[in-house]
Structure 1
Amino acid sequence: MGEHGEKVVPLHAHTYFNVSETGEFCQYLIYDYYDPEGYYVSLEADPDEYAKEMGKLWDNMQGFLDEERNEVNGEPVHPEVVFIDLGFRGRDELPFVTWIITFRGNIVPGLNTYATWSEEEELEYDCEAIWVFPEGTEIVEVRTLMDYEIHANILSLWARERDVIGGYEEIFFRIP
């Protein structure tokens, strides 16, 4: 964010992962912000500045993803940003940015793993993640610093401001 966007503060993050039986992982990552000076809404009046800022946000997210290490069943996978969008939650000072991120892994019938390694960080805002696996999938084990609950084929994770997240995380799941 340029000089005008420096007062934009992240408020909340949530993400949804959909995992298919064919190994397609699709992530919808949404960050909510507080923008008291209206930096993001001002971009709507200038298509060139809007495109420049969206490109910067795209590149920053891709750079973050490139720093992570991700594996499906021990094989490296490479998450890629494929879409970005800017919206508002009813007020100009409450923008949100949505990224769609995809990758493919070799999923097999039986036991599978998804693992990621990232820098540990102390959160400045609350966050949640929901993973939806194919119907009938059994989520066998979860290794993470986040709190979580398993509901059949759905994994719900959360962490609050000042919690530490990241590091090594792994999900073991059995596909019928």
Structure 2
Amino acid sequence: MGFFHVRESGWIDETVVFDYYDPDHYYASLTRDELLEEKEALARNMQFYLDLEDVRLNGKPCFPRVLDVDVGFRGSMDHPYVVFTIVFKGELVEGVNVFEDRYEEEVAEYGYRVYWILPPTGRFTEVDVGVPYMLSANNRILVFTVDAGVRVRGYERIVFEIEKRIN
């Protein structure tokens, strides 16, 4: 699952959660030091893929950065999760804003769901993510799902308006 929280300051907080089935208890078997090393490796790996993307807000490049990685368990040691906290900043304007992301085309190995949440003064006006999507909460929340096996074309364009800035 991915959550994008758009701030009026231009900061976008992204949280990505991966759920795993781990019958061998790989994550549960790690010592404290090994877990720290694993989290650092996960952060480097995610950053590598983020660096391959061309992320733009209003035509200007943005540079997503991994801020933190956490590993935990849901109910049992068979079900670990990894949470990536990612941030990037762009320049929002009053009125129309355009987010674009270009990345390598691929076939999704697993299904995932993405949520975009705008500030109270925002609303989505155009969405081109290559899959069906839903808008709710007066067009402030965008949700789309990519099923396993779907070809992801490597381009997203999300247009939204910010009516006025709140200070």
TM-score band w.r.t. shorter chain:
over 0.9
Q: Structure 1 residue 114 and structure 2 residue 71: aligned?
A: no
- CA RMSD of superposed structures (Å): 0.9
Q: Which residue in 2 is equivalent to 1:88?
A: 73
When normalised by structure 2's length, the TM-score is 0.93
Cα offset, 1:49, TM superposition: 1.1
Picking from 41, 54, 59, the partner of 2:28 is 41
| Runs of 5+ unmatched residues, structure 2 | none
Q: CA deviation at 1:166?
A: 4.4
* 1:154 aligned onto 2:141: yes
1:68 aligns with 2:53: yes
- C-alpha displacement of 1:48: 1.8
In structure 1, give the amino acid aligned to 2:41: K
Give the strand-richer structure, 1 or 2: 1
Matching residue's letter, 1:172: V
Percent identical: 37
User: Which residue of 2 is the match for residue 138 of structure 1?
Assistant: 123
Q: Runs in 1 of length 4+ with deviation above 6 angstroms?
A: none
SS of structure 2 residue aligned to 1:52: helix
What residue ranges of structure 1 are gaps of 5+ in the alignment?
1-13
1: CA distance, partners of 2:114 / 2:40: 25
* TM-score normalised according to structure 1 size: 0.89
Choose from 14, 23, 27 the match for 2:10: 23
Q: Distance in 1 between matches of 2:152 and 2:76?
A: 30
C-alpha distance in 2 between matches for 1:173 and 1:130:
14
Query: CA offset at residue 51 of structure 1?
Result: 1.2
For residues 85 and 56 of structure 1, what CA distance do their matches in structure 2 show?
12
Structure 1 residue 147, shift from structure 2 partner: 2.1
Q: Distance in 2 between matches of 1:30 and 1:174?
A: 27
